[in-house]
A and B are shown apart, each in its own frame.
Chain A
Amino acid sequence: MIELVNISKSYDGKINVIEKLNLKINKGEIVVLIGESGCGKTTTLRMINRLNEPTGGTIMIDGQDYKKMSKIELRRQLGYVIQKVGLMPHLTVGKNIEMIPELKGWDKEKRKERAYELLTTVDLPPEDYYDRYPHELSGGQQQRVGVARALAVNPDIILMDEPFSALDPVTREQLQKELLRLQDELGKTIVFVTHDMDEALKIGDRIAVMKDGKIIQYDTPEEILKNPADDFVEYFVGKDRLWKSPEMLRASDIMHKSLITVGQRRTPAQVIEVMKEKDLETLFIVEKETSKPQPPIGYITRESLREQGSNESKMSDICNREFETVQHDSKMTDVLKIMDNKLVRSLPVLDDNGNLIGMITRASILNLITKAVVNEEENQ
């Protein structure tokens, strides 16, 4: 675990570029620092491996003041990957990876074995790449070597400063995916700096949105999208972002919250009145007509009521008790699948206790699309 406690940093002794910053990074998490250029992301990252010294505050690594170790020792326990990669051009790929192992006095066999292993991990066949020179590799391949090098002495923590920003979009996406895979396999703690929200949402377990040397919001990608802390975060995330990340949308985000239901004792005539008034084709039936959430019993359509004609039967007798439901945290993609497969018109959304809290209809989905499209036009 990494803990930044009240960290401040000034380069000139006057202006604080980082102002009393607090950040806790749990073991095995990918935490993304994001913000506009110059907001202090790099400065923050480089304070963790003491390439920059904080002017105030402390940093704890696994509960220990990080100054207990020498700088050199500390840095060898933290992998470091930068945008420009910084491979040693006069050394082969293998020797680049083996640099720190060599300085630590590993013998030749062990070094080479490790380099082979790591090249395999980053998907560069060692037989082909071990003896190559950096300039013979593409940008993406170079950064793979950069990542392999950072893993050489098996650090628990890896610091990455815009590692994929200089790559073309296709390569970038590939490396992002592989980073996630690597993280799954190795369980490293990763602090990742980027200015690209798409990237942050894709790879971050948590995202710290920074502005002027402060953290404005530190939350999961979902929370950042759905509940931006202020206008800046909202602007930075982009209003239409939620729509562009449908995997982040949950049933509760798209449902109608103003529920219309009727009690089970109602007669067909009364229910038809409600339907006419509210212009509805389907209504869900609950036990009592109170504002308290309760489980749905069944549903009734206008068509079936018309066929019934006017009589004295109760809704509890004639309603249809076979229906699909979704949980409030079901993914939007699953919701769409159900509506599509079963030709469902109204899909009840249930909370954790099985109570009805909202309704998804074709109209509510149309609403969502409309909002996204309108936002898009406003942004242009």
Chain B
Amino acid sequence: MNDMNFFQFMASRSDELIRLTIQHIQITGLAVLLAVMLGVPVGIFISKNRSLRSPILGLANVFQTIPSLALFGLIIPLLGTGYVPSVFVLFLYALLPIIKNTFIGINSVEESIIDAGRGMGMTTNQILTKVEMPLALPVIMGGIRISTVINIGTATIAALIGAGGLGEMIFKGISMASDNMVLAGAVPTALLAIFMDKVLGMVETKLTPIGITSQKDKAN
């Protein structure tokens, strides 16, 4: 087996690799999805509510600064091992960039635009949905992209608490001292991260309103 080159090894394990990759995508995907569902509303909320802004950003920051390995360890006594605690930890990791970017995106909409909107009789909700959100969307998308890319990497560690994913291959490889096996987990992880970065980058561009895209072009 040690005589096989990397590609031959990948080919021989293709079924397992595909299964682990799908698992990997599922864990990170779900974690990011949940983070968006909570993070965007929270980001909107703190953009309107000054007093809760720093406590919430501070809390989200704390999760970000705890080393991932430690956070996975800490979660075991609370939620045990497996799929659910892994997704939960990844969700906590994904939260900060999404909250922060939502907040920044909305907060950086020019005051005069909001003022004009209010002055001509738009409700707070209309301003949020018709003005602030469309203008903040590219920035929010940027946060989602960062969260996703970071999470694809971090999710490899989730294998330690039994979540599966490509990390399983890496850790098995480490324990068996098989370079090929480590690489067979690491290379697809990296490719997946790069791929998602590109795709989400394209989505980001797509979501940027035309009036703003060409404005940026002009600035360049």
Contact = CB atoms under 8 A, between A and B. Distances in A.
Interface of A: 46, 49, 51, 71-76, 79-80, 82, 84-92, 99-100, 103, 133-136, 146, 149-150, 159
Given A75-B118, A75-B119, A149-B120, 15 more contacts: A49-B119, A76-B120, A76-B121, A80-B116, A85-B112, A86-B112, A86-B113, A89-B113, A90-B212, A92-B211, A99-B130, A100-B122, A103-B122, A133-B215, A135-B215
Contact of B211 (A75, A84, A135, A150): A135
Contacts of B214: 133, 135-136
B12 interface: no
Contact of B118 (A51, A87, A89, A92): A51
User: Chain B CB within 10 Å — which of A49, A71, A88 has the most?
Assistant: A88
Contact of B121 (A73, A133, A136, A146): A73
Contacts of B134: 90
Contacts of A79: 120
A259 to B, nearest CB: 56
B116 A86 contact: yes
B112 A135 contact: no
A90 B120 contact: no
Contact of B210 (A84, A85, A133, A159): A133
Given A90-B134, A150-B120, A135 B218 contact: yes
B218 A88 contact: no
B15 interface: no
A75 B135 contact: no
21 contacts: A71-B121, A74-B121, A75-B120, A75-B121, A79-B120, A82-B112, A82-B116, A82-B119, A84-B110, A84-B115, A86-B116, A87-B116, A88-B113, A88-B211, A89-B135, A90-B211, A91-B211, A100-B121, A100-B122, A133-B214, A135-B215
Contacts, number: 83
Interface string B49-93: 000000000000000000000000000000000000000000000
Contact of B112 (A46, A74, A84): A84
By size class, the interface of chain B is 20 to 34
Interface of B: 110, 112-123, 126, 130-131, 134-135, 209-212, 214-215, 218
Nearest to B118: A51
Contact of B209 (A74, A89, A150): A89
B112 to A, nearest CB: 4
Contacts of B215: 89, 133, 135
A99 B212 CA distance: 18
A80 B120 contact: yes
Contacts of A76: 120-121
Nearest to A152: B120
Contacts of B119: 46, 49, 51, 75, 80, 82, 159
User: Chain A CB within 10 Å — which of B113, B126, B134, B209 has the most?
Assistant: B113
Contacts of A90: 134-135, 209-212
A18 B209 CA distance: 41
A99 B110 contact: no
Contacts of B113: 86-89
A21 B215 CA distance: 44
Nearest to B209: A90
Contacts of B120: 75-76, 79-80, 99-100, 149-150
B166 to A, nearest CB: 39
User: Chain B CB within 10 Å — which of A72, A90, A103 has the most?
Assistant: A90
A82 B134 CA distance: 22
A59 B207 CA distance: 44
A110 B210 CA distance: 25
Contacts of B135: 89-90
**8 tightest A-B CB contacts, nearest first:** A86-B116, A90-B209, A75-B121, A80-B119, A84-B112, A76-B121, A133-B211, A86-B112
B115 A82 contact: yes
A72 B110 CA distance: 21
Given A75-B121, A86-B110, A149-B120, A51 B115 contact: yes
A79 B121 CA distance: 9
A49 B126 CA distance: 18
A71 B124 CA distance: 12
A40 to B, nearest CB: 18
Nearest to B211: A133
Contacts of A73: 121
Contacts of A74: 121
A72 B126 CA distance: 11
